[in-house]
Amino acid sequence: MDIQSCVNIQTEWDIVAARQLGRNVAKELGFGVVDQARITTAISELARNIFIYAHKGRVCIEKMNDKGHAGLRIIAVDSGPGINDIRLAMEDGYSTSGGLGAGLPGVKRLMDEFQIVSSQGKGTEITAVKWIR
Amino acid sequence: MPFREAMEAKYRDILAKYIEEQKESTLYLAQKFSRKSIENQVTPEEIISLHKMILQEMYPEMPTYVTHSFDLLLEIMLGYGFAYREHQSLRHQQKELRSEIEIAANVQHTLLDTKIPVVDGLDIGAISVPARLMNGDYYNFVQDENQCISIAIADVIGKGIPAALCMSMIKYAMDSLPGYRNEPSVLLENLNHVVEQNVDPSMFVTMFYGIYNHEHHLFSYASAGHEPGFFYDGKKKGFTEITARGLMLGIDKKTKYTQYEKKIEPGDMIILLSDGVTECRTSEGFVEKDTLLTYIDKYLHLSAQEIVNRIYKDLEQLQNFQLRDDFTLIILKRSV
């Protein structure tokens, strides 16, 4: 049962809308306050990446249910320049985070599952899942 | 995780105690709690959430603005938690890297290992200490069946891993040129070709190579831009700098080296070093050559190995135990 809702990311305000959407769904699913905040932060990071690097894309939130186990999936898609070296982008300390722990490795740590597909010139698709503990 | 299970009750206990009476002993308990929670990878946002939850339990009538303020604090601290997790992961990586380098240093040690020759009438001491984990200095002794001892001392400009990698190559290049062992100038010319062809143009190697003829007590040597060493005259009780001209290895493949000779009398010494010795830096600037020579003079009565060990200890202390460059010192002493 996948119910998906999306927010198009074009302006900085759209990041807020994506956060709000994610938080609402997380709350609905019964995530605790800390996990709600983590999911929102992950969404915020992914949406910011789209806003800054790809300029245009969307963030979708999906409710998931795996044999009675509830979860939330974030899908961030853009048609930007793509990531040249994914291994490098997934390395701590790389990217613009500058010790803030942000960036893709930070998102990966906040979530339970993380997938990235990117091709140069075509864009990037990142999927991340968090399950209720 | 046992700590995580007990965490809530423990925090409730400390908080209740402190609200009741603001004692230093409770704050100390809190400090111990935070240490334990860091050990167990509890993040800042989890602590905030725990604090809020327990406070709500203890004071159900707590004003809503306090509850809301904790939600804001949680969001802020999440950023810190974010940075904290990256820090943890980087620390882990650093540990892995360090142990990898330690293994490499051991490998290097085995590769470059050389035995100090034991011969009658000649006392030899040598020490080489890297500034970091891996050594960019190198020394080597070879004793042949004709009573000749060859001594090589080399320094790659730069330190750490790149220098160490380069040094391993020099060692094997030298091993593959046994025919030139007796001719310092020819040996350096051949090594120069190897370095010029195989080493990154930004890397330079200095080397002093000498061969000591134990039968005639004649020391033949040549230098490729290496830090000059010293001869000690046992009769005059004075030092003179070893002058040997020659370009560093790896600059120009046509470089020729001049070979020099010196007769070594009983009581004389040959002192060879790397620039890590003369470039010892203290708060007052570089260690002067005179200072170094005073140290050698002070320990003259000791065995060659004792002298180099003591000088290293002294200079290490002068620099507050922070070596800025790899340090190599060799002393050959002809017995009286």
pLDDT tier at A1, thresholds 50, 70, 90: very low
Q: Nearest-CA neighbor of B232 among B178, B183, B292?
A: B292
Percent of chain B past pLDDT 90, that is, above it, reads 54
For residues B45 and A40, the answer to whether their CB atoms sit within 8 Å is: no
Mean pLDDT, residues B145-170 taken together? 84
User: What is the DSSP track for B231-281?
Assistant: EEETTTTEEEE-----PPBTS-TT-----EEEE--TT-EEEEE-HHHHT-E
pLDDT tier at A102, thresholds 50, 70, 90: low
Phi, psi for B62 (deg, rounded to 5)? -55, 130
Q: Testing the interface with B: which of A33, A104, A133 to mutate, by most B Cβ within 10 A? A: A33
Distance, CA of A44 to CA of B191 (rounded, Å): 59
Q: What is the pLDDT of residues A43-83, one digit of tens each?
A: 999 999 999 888 999 999 999 998 889 999 999 999 989 88
Q: In this predicted structure, what is the pLDDT of residue B277? A: 83
Q: In this predicted structure, what is the pLDDT of residue A2? A: 57
User: What is the DSSP track for A27-79?
Assistant: HHHT--HHHHHHHHHHHHHHHHHIIIIIS-EEEEEEEEEETTEEEEEEEEEE-
Q: In this predicted structure, what is the pLDDT of residue A103? A: 82
Q: How far is CA B103 from CA A56, B283, B286, B323, in A?
A: 48, 34, 33, 21
Percent of chain A past pLDDT 70, that is, above it, reads 91
| A109/B83 touch (CB, cutoff 8 Å), yes or no | no
Among the partner-chain residues A32, A37, A110, the one whose CB lies closest to the CB of B75 is A37
What is the domain count for chain A?
1
Q: Which domains does chain B have, with CATH numbers?
A: 2-104 (1.10.1240.30), 112-334 (3.60.40.10)
Specify the amino acid at residue B243. Answer: T
Q: In this predicted structure, what is the pLDDT of residue B178? A: 82
Q: What is the pLDDT of residues B59-107, one digit of tens each?
A: 999 999 999 999 999 999 998 888 888 888 888 999 999 999 999 888 8
For the cut 60, the answer to whether the pLDDT of residue B128 exceeds it is yes
Domain of residue A110, CATH code: 3.30.565.10
Q: In this predicted structure, what is the pLDDT of residue B336? A: 77
Higher pLDDT, B204 or B247: B247
Q: How far apart are the CA of B50 and the nearest CA of chain A, in angstroms?
A: 9
For residues A17 and A47, the answer to whether their CB atoms sit within 8 Å is: no
H helices of chain B, in order, are: 2-20, 24-39, 44-58, 64-111, 161-175, 184-198, 275-278, 289-298, 304-318
Q: How many Cβ pairs closer than 8 A exist between chain A and B?
A: 48
Full residue range of the structural domain in which residue A42 is found: 3-131
Q: How far apart are the CA of A53 and the nearest CA of chain B, in angstroms?
A: 21
Prediction ipTM score: 0.80
Q: In this predicted structure, what is the pLDDT of residue B233? A: 93
pLDDT tier at A13, thresholds 50, 70, 90: very high
Distance, CA of B292 to CA of B282 (rounded, Å): 13
For the cut 80, the answer to whether the pLDDT of residue B160 exceeds it is no
For the cut 70, the answer to whether the pLDDT of residue A90 exceeds it is yes
- Taken in order B214, B218, B224, B230, the sign of the CA dihedral is positive
Q: In this predicted structure, what is the pLDDT of residue B1? A: 55
pLDDT tier at B283, thresholds 50, 70, 90: low
Q: In this predicted structure, what is the pLDDT of residue B88? A: 86
Q: In this predicted structure, what is the pLDDT of residue B197? A: 87
Specify the amino acid at residue B229. Answer: G
**Residue B5 CB contacts under 8 Å (≥ 6 apart), including other chains:** none
Residues of A with CB under 8 A from a CB of B: 32-34, 37-38, 41, 92-93, 97, 99-102, 105-106, 109-110
Mean pLDDT, residues B5-33 taken together? 95
Residues of A with CB below 8 A from B95's CB?
Answer: none
Specify the amino acid at residue B167. Answer: M
Distance, CA of A88 to CA of A83 (rounded, Å): 9
| A34/B46 touch (CB, cutoff 8 Å), yes or no | yes
Grouping H, G, I as helix, E, B as strand and the rest as coil, residue A120 is: coil
Q: What is the mean pLDDT of chain B?
A: 89
Higher pLDDT, B330 or A4: B330
Distance, CA of B129 to CA of B107 (rounded, Å): 16
Q: In this predicted structure, what is the pLDDT of residue A96? A: 54
Q: In this predicted structure, what is the pLDDT of residue A133? A: 86
Mean pLDDT, residues B172-178 taken together? 85
Higher pLDDT, B118 or B319: B118
Q: How far is CA A70 from CA A3, A43, A128, B112, in A?
A: 13, 18, 14, 60
Q: In this predicted structure, what is the pLDDT of residue A98? A: 53
